[in-house]
């Protein structure tokens, strides 16, 4: 049994992390904080009424460090890098759900997130928390950079191909669609019901801040520079990301659907949370909702040398809180699915 704290429980990823940890029988949540909300958890999250007596506080690093073995940071980008060092300094393990420790190159971080990085020391030590690709390093990490929601779906969809068939890839286009919870809990015109409902649109076309995160890890996997075209869209659903990924392959003529399928099946055969779907089956948001799964579908048009990979995750679970818990399970040597497949 370990103790855990969550900083920023008023947001979706903080609230969902709390919900997951309350179900986890090896974890006791001992500390929760939210800057703008005092009061009980039930005030913030009425669906949790009766499940916990925790009272929410403004952030206090000393208190968090005293009460917790591990602290989840579910605060906005550019805030986390101010809090993490204070917890790490007290030898606490930190899982950061923000983007602050995901981008190796500080100038790239500054460019995409609009602020200079202020914790370069820990940035170097942070481990990217995508278990399917980085499990060994996660085990001993003191600071986890929990992946972005779009990058999680993209990297799991592309990893087997990029890692094993680099030379065959000509270009990658990612057409991504996300539910509204990905935009956070703060009221604004763009996330009102009357704006989103019965609507659909692209946004940040080729300028979304998750693009360099995807590029960086694909490049690492490939051992050579890879850059994607990335266009996100806003879906009128609460939760879920579906990405339709167009991989233009070099016309070498002898690559079959079966071969590609085998590559994926083999790559993920021991993974509890990746489901490579049978040929002819497409991922659907509803099949991954409230789960930590990533479902992957594969269709190859041999004549056009075009491979279409579709991947679906729940942006709040595998794309944020579920993956954070999965990382915690690995860090503390719990069964990896604990609290996630019950």
Q: Which residues are catalytic?
A: 149
Does residue 249 sit in helix, strand or coil?
strand
- Using CB under 8 A as the criterion, what x/- string covers residues 260-279 for binding a second copy? ------------x--x-x--
Asked whether the CA dihedral 41, 45, 48, 49 is positive or negative, the reply is positive
What is residue 39's three-state secondary structure? strand
Using the minimum distance from each CB to a second copy, give the nearer residue, 51 or 86.
Answer: 51
The DSSP symbol for 317 reads I
- Looking at 242, 317, 328, 340, which residue binds a second copy (CB under 8 A)? 242
The verdict on 199 binding a second copy (CB under 8 A) reads yes
* Among 248, 257, 261, 332, interactor with a second copy by CB under 8 A: 248
**Binds a second copy (CB under 8 A): choice among 49, 111, 115, 250:** 49
d(CA 326, CA 338): 8
CA dist 141 → 24, 125, 128, 138 (Å) = 21, 8, 9, 5
Q: Is 50 in the site for a second copy (CB under 8 A)?
A: yes
Instruction: Choose between 108 and 237: whose C-beta lies nearer to a second copy.
Output: 237
Only segment of 57-65, 113-121, 127-135, 181-189 that touches a second copy (CB under 8 A) = 181-189
Of residues 293-322, those binding a second copy (CB under 8 A): 293, 297, 299, 301, 304, 306, 308, 310, 312
Binding status of residue 195 toward a second copy by CB under 8 A: yes
C-alpha to C-alpha distance for 200 and 185, rounded to whole angstroms: 19
CA-wise closest residue to 145 among 155, 10, 181, 262: 155
Under rule CB under 8 A, residue 219 binds a second copy: no
Is residue 246 close enough to count as binding a second copy by CB under 8 A?
A: yes
For position 36 contacting a second copy by CB under 8 A, the verdict is no
Q: Does 253 bind a second copy (CB under 8 A)?
A: no
Is residue 71 a contact partner of residue 64, using CB atoms and an 8 Å limit? yes
User: Which two structure tokens, joined as six digits, stand for 35?
Assistant: 């800057």
- Taking CB under 8 A as the criterion, the residue among 202, 251, 265, 279 binding a second copy is 202
- 241-249 and 169-178 strand pairing: antiparallel
Using the rule CB under 8 A, is 125 a contact of a second copy? Answer: no
Using CB under 8 A, which residues numbered 6 to 25 contact a second copy? Answer: 12, 23
Task: Give me the count of residues in the chain.
Answer: 342
């Amino acid at each position: 049994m370990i103790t855990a704290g969550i900083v920023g429980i008023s947001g979706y990823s903080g609230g969902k992390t709390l919900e997951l940890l309350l179900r986890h029988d090896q974890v006791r949540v001992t500390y929760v904080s939210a800057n703008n909300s005092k009061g009980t958890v039930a005030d913030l999250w009425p669906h949790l009424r009766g499940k916990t007596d925790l009272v929410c506080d403004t952030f206090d690093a000393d208190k968090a460090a005293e009460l917790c073995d591990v602290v989840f940071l579910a605060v906005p980008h550019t805030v986390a890098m101010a809090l993490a060092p204070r917890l790490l300094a007290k030898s606490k393990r930190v899982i950061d759900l923000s983007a602050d420790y995901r981008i190796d190159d500080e100038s790239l971080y500054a460019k995409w997130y609009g602020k200079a990085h202020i914790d370069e020391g820990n940035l170097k030590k942070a481990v990217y928390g995508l278990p399917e690709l980085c499990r060994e390093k996660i085990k001993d990490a003191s600071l986890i950079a929990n992946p972005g929601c779009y990058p999680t779906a993209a990297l799991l969809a592309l990893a087997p191909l990029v890692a094993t068939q680099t030379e065959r890839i000509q270009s990658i286009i990612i057409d991504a669609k996300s539910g509204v919870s990905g935009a956070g809990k703060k009221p604004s015109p763009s996330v009102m019901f009357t704006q989103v409902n019965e609507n659909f649109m692209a946004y940040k076309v080729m300028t979304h801040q998750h693009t360099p995160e995807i590029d960086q890890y694909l490049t690492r996997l490939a051992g050579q520079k890879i850059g994607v075209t990335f266009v996100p869209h806003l879906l009128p659903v609460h939760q879920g990301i579906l990405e339709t990924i167009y991989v233009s392959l070099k016309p070498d003529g002898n690559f079959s659907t079966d071969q590609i399928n085998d590559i994926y099946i083999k790559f993920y055969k021991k993974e509890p949370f990746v489901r490579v779907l049978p040929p002819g089956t497409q991922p659907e948001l509803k099949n991954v909702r409230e789960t930590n799964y990533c479902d992957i579908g594969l269709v190859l048009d041999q004549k056009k040398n075009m491979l279409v990979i579709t991947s679906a995750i729940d942006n709040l679970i595998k794309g944020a809180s579920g993956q954070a818990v999965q990382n915690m399970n690995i860090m503390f040597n719990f069964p990896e699915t604990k609290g996630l497949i019950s």
